[in-house]
Structure 1
Amino acid sequence: MTGDVMWDAPFETILRRYLPFFSPDEGLAAETSLTDLGLDSLGKVELLGELESAYDVRFRDEALNAETFENPGSLWTALDAMRTPAV
């Protein structure tokens, strides 16, 4: 992983399963386009379900948009916000 966004290993493991155009030995950058790596609309739905199950969260309606699924960094930011209790 590169960039300022830090995610955990399970997130990257799950995400990589939905990126058919991404080499397993390549580092995943926070700003890399998920669409360019092969994430399609069906993959987004499946990925969403797997992330919700793995992290015991539900993506809020406002997070279900193109920006959230634009790149690993934006997806992790949305997921992490749901995992972190509001203060």
Structure 2
Amino acid sequence: MVGEPVTPQMLARSDVIEVLAVRMPVMDATDVLSAKLRVLGEHFCDFTRLLPIARALREQVDWDRLATEVRDFPFARAFLFLLAELGVTRPRV
């Protein structure tokens, strides 16, 4: 994931779901969105693909944890600001 190892903590947060008759861990929504936001940069910054994902997962995401995880990524912070401006999330103080 974004060049980072999958940790025991990440697996502990996942749900075990049956996918095509195989039970497997499925990442939680915050981890999925965090990974997608941390790859944004000058050469790839497509918010149009991320908006529907964020809207669909909004009740499942730990927004405070996500903001902490992406605090060093300016494009990710810009996306979180946009979500607040669009009313997808609550404004950050």
Query: What TM-score, normalized by structure 2, do the two folds share?
Result: 0.33
Larger % of helix: which? 2
Larger % of strand: which? 2
Query: What TM-score, normalized by structure 1, do the two folds share?
Result: 0.35
Q: Which has the larger radius of gyration?
A: 2
Greater relative contact order (CA < 8 Å, ≥ 6 in sequence): 1
